[in-house]
Structure 1
């Protein structure tokens, strides 16, 4: 299945010679809705194979079963998005695929997305960039954060895993996703590990990923919307479990990479702190969320790992 020719210093080369058949899309699924059918329809014509990993779904099973003839279906007990993606990535590695496109079930991949990502990988490789992954330029119309430019290419700061085109050489060089993170920060840990190894995530111009924003609530005081620089403030509402993982895994990331990637860690901490501040201040169930966040920080400091006790 391999079609890569050539390479660059650092072990991860450009995608010279890669075609659609050499890319495997891996979709992590848990209790999906009908939108999963649209995602598969989006991506199936752009890659050689779609691997759907059902992570212990209890609902939406009819949606998953209805896709059997279009995807390779893998079922496993609920273990989190990292374990689900790793199951599909392992299949891609055994297939000798050149790259993996990782996706959430609520994403949308427009026509030409994979071709544009591969073209960016090829061009960056030709310019001597040791590419760890290729990220979209925007998520649902919101520009992706960048961290400067390298040889004419925008460097992605902390890209989400959904929509990420990762050369299989990256996984062979540094290992698979860290399953101990379970859900949140899985992509950030991969990025930090790549940066520490000298591998660089780049952005593909024109790649626009549609991605679900979750439950986003407005910031209000006294019944009135709060604005900053003329823009209304809002925040993503999450369950206590999710906030626990965000706080714990953020703490683990900070401890693990503060020395090797201090600027990256500091910027990520600042952005996460702002999101947490809004959520923990204005959420209707802020008491539960504060307790979950404190528990997460405590466990992160103590080095506790894996599923929440």
Structure 2
């Protein structure tokens, strides 16, 4: 019988504020413990010192999402690893849905369980059943420790965006399944939402900094080429069209995006220092 005592949550922090503290407090009694890996330049450990279920690891520099996740995974020993962003809100129903599936199904060929993502741009509600999917996001996904033992850790050279896509494609290549548990829903906040009014309707879309679009362009193209995945090429095209059609400061975004494409073609990865 699998229980929450077999689950560790790894949360990557970056300049956490009091709101993040309240988010971390929500994990109490939902998992065995929480490991916070902080990419901030300074320690923020005092913010979480009263949470006895938390282990805090400061890095004193931004080493990227992949490095931070890997650090947390290596510092833990639980059988299952829930990876989370600092602004994703966990619920007991998410953990219960995962445990219910694990206790009723053979997990031999499964690499990870993922969820539906409820955002202000795309509302989702719990549904019945589960299904095999190829791609998802790492925040809110429950990985088996055996998966990391079999195919390795997250690719630290990608640094930021696309780390999850690369890992899930590597899982797929190794014949390890990614299963979406439809009753599991995570409240998630990717990027900043903007609204464009169109007649009687409106279009909601996400926007982030130019450097994020550098990483998205570079890592999507590099991963698409490596795994020959057409969906990533489609996502890359959509992101480019968003810049051209919807964004202000198009030149800045296009310059970052094009640099990402160039670096992907030359296999130039790692941390990027963006210049305006």
TM-score, normalised via structure 2 length: 0.89
- Partner residue of 1:307 out of 251, 271, 274: 271
The within-5 A match list for 1:245-264 is 245-258=215-228
TM-superposed deviation, 1:134:
0.8
- Partner residue of 2:112 out of 133, 147, 150: 133
TM-superposed deviation, 1:215:
1.4
C-alpha offsets along residues 176-212 of structure 1, whole Å, 9 cap, x if unaligned?
Answer: 1101111100110110000000011111132111111
Distance 1:279 1:27, change over 3 A: same
TM-superposed deviation, 1:231:
5.4
C-alpha offsets along residues 40-93 of structure 1, whole Å, 9 cap, x if unaligned?
Answer: 2222211111000011245xx65x42212321000112111111111101112x
Aligned to 2:25: 41
Q: Do 1:18 and 1:98's aligned partners in 2 also have CA atoms closer than 8 Å?
A: no
Aligned to 1:73: 56
SS of corresponding position for 2:132: strand
- Partner residue of 2:34 out of 16, 37, 50: 50
The answer to whether structure 1 residue 119 and structure 2 residue 103 are counterparts is no
Aligned to 1:18: 2
Distance 1:256 1:124, change over 3 A: farther
Instruction: Output the CA distance in 1 between the equivalents of 2:151 and 2:118.
Output: 27
Instruction: Output the CA distance in 2 between the equivalents of 1:168 and 1:137.
Output: 22
TM-superposed deviation, 1:272:
3.5
> Which structure 1 residue ranges, 5 or more long, are not aligned?
1-16, 145-151, 220-224, 259-264
SS of corresponding position for 1:142: coil
C-alpha offsets along residues 231-253 of structure 1, whole Å, 9 cap, x if unaligned?
Answer: 53232111111110000001110
Aligned to 2:72: 88
Aligned to 2:89: 108
Q: Do 1:26 and 1:103's aligned partners in 2 also have CA atoms closer than 8 Å?
A: yes
**Mean Cα deviation higher: 38-47 or 182-191:** 38-47
Q: Do 2:224 and 2:232's aligned partners in 1 also have CA atoms closer than 8 Å?
A: no
C-alpha offsets along residues 23-49 of structure 1, whole Å, 9 cap, x if unaligned?
Answer: 110000001222212222222211111
Aligned to 1:3: none
Distance 1:143 1:157, change over 3 A: farther
Instruction: Output the CA distance in 1 between the equivalents of 2:123 and 2:162.
Output: 20
SS of corresponding position for 1:125: coil
SS of corresponding position for 2:147: helix
TM-score, normalised via structure 1 length: 0.80
C-alpha offsets along residues 89-109 of structure 1, whole Å, 9 cap, x if unaligned?
Answer: 1112xx2x1100000000101
Instruction: Output the CA distance in 2 between the equivalents of 1:280 and 1:68.
Output: 46
Instruction: Supply the RMSD in Å over aligned alpha carbons.
Output: 2.1
